[in-house]
Amino acid sequence: MRRRRRPMALVAALATLLLLPAAGHATTPAAAEGSVRADELLAALRGCDAQLSRGKYRTDSDARASVPVCGRKGAVYWHADMDIDCDGQPTERCNKKTDRWFQPETAFQQSDGRHLNSAGLPFIVVPLPSKIWDYRGAGIGGGTIAAVIHKGEVQYAVVGDLGPKKIIGEASYASAAGLGVDPDPSSGGVDSGVTYLLFPGSAAEPIEDHAAAVAAGEALAERFLAEN
């Protein structure tokens, strides 16, 4: 639930190496979830006619504030980067050894009271309430269903964790892997090209049931397109 900046010098030095998948980390997109196409959703999310945030968010701590939270009928969305959240239940992929920023807690918990499994559950991170924007006022909470879009792929997820007040653009290890993004919590993620589409008032029950999030997300995405 915290943000980190990938060192630009390191990125430049390893640019050619990063053309290949990092060993041990899945970067092939999962099978398409549902029939709603990414390009259809993106066409309905152009511009920001209704800005919900009072200002804009940074994508990293040293970036300029450039990302507004926007609204359309039945939806809240933003276009940002993707950093990797590996917090929650310790797993082979997410633990103190694989992620030096690892925390064993997530802001929202499973139905059994355990923290979420970021390596197994696709979820996204929203900023903590601030003067910029308060997600709660937009009908968003733990378990709210989202569609994450990147390079022609749609991944359904839930709101599962909270991040810093001034920074936006983060998703779980499983979300990244499902979209074909390098999920390594230290060096993975992407710097741009990710759209986060949330459906206020919705919820996956229980929060850890990804199949329920996919089924409801597909129906919500279809309704969103019909209304926009």
Reported as a single tens digit per residue, the pLDDT across 153-198 is 999 999 999 999 999 999 999 999 999 999 999 999 999 999 999 9
Mean of all residue pLDDT scores within the chain: 89
What pLDDT is recorded for position 21? 36
Domain count, the chain: 1
- Does the residue 219 lie in any domain? yes
Residue 41 identity: L
Rounded CA-CA distance 227/72 in Å is: 9
CATH number at residue 38: 2.40.40.10
When pLDDT is averaged across residues 8-32 and rounded to a whole number, the result is: 40
**Main-chain phi, psi angles of 173, to 5 degrees:** -50, -45
Overall pTM surpassing 0.85 (yes/no): yes
SS3 assignment, position 203: coil
Q: Which residues pair with 31 in a beta bridge?
A: none
What is the percent of the chain with per-residue pLDDT over 90, rounded to a whole number? 84
When pLDDT is averaged across residues 206-222 and rounded to a whole number, the result is: 97
What pLDDT is recorded for position 98? 96
pLDDT in tens, 51-66: 999 999 999 999 999 9
User: Domain containing 212: what range?
Assistant: 33-227
DSSP string, 161-202: EEE-TTB--EEEHHHHHHTT----TTT-SEEEEEEEEE-TT-
Q: Is the pLDDT of residue 43 over 80?
A: yes
- Does the residue 121 lie in any domain? yes
Q: Is the pLDDT of residue 45 over 70?
A: yes
What pLDDT is recorded for position 34? 72
Report the 10 Å Cβ neighbour count for 59.
25
Residues 33, 36, 38, 41, Cα dihedral to 10° = -140
Q: How far is CA 13 from CA 4, 17, 18, 223, in A?
A: 18, 9, 10, 45
pLDDT in tens, 72-121: 999 999 999 999 999 999 999 999 999 999 999 999 999 999 999 999 99
- Does the residue 57 lie in any domain? yes
The H or E element that residue 50 is part of is strand 50-51
- Does the residue 165 lie in any domain? yes
- Does the residue 4 lie in any domain? no
What pLDDT is recorded for position 12? 34
Tokens of 171: 């998703």
- Does the residue 96 lie in any domain? yes
Rounded CA-CA distance 95/159 in Å is: 21
Tokens of 75: 């939806």
What pLDDT is recorded for position 33? 77
- Does the residue 28 lie in any domain? no
Q: Kindly indicate the confidence band of residue 215, based on its pLDDT and cuts at 50, 70 and 90.
A: very high
pLDDT in tens, 191-203: 999 999 999 999 9
- Does the residue 12 lie in any domain? no
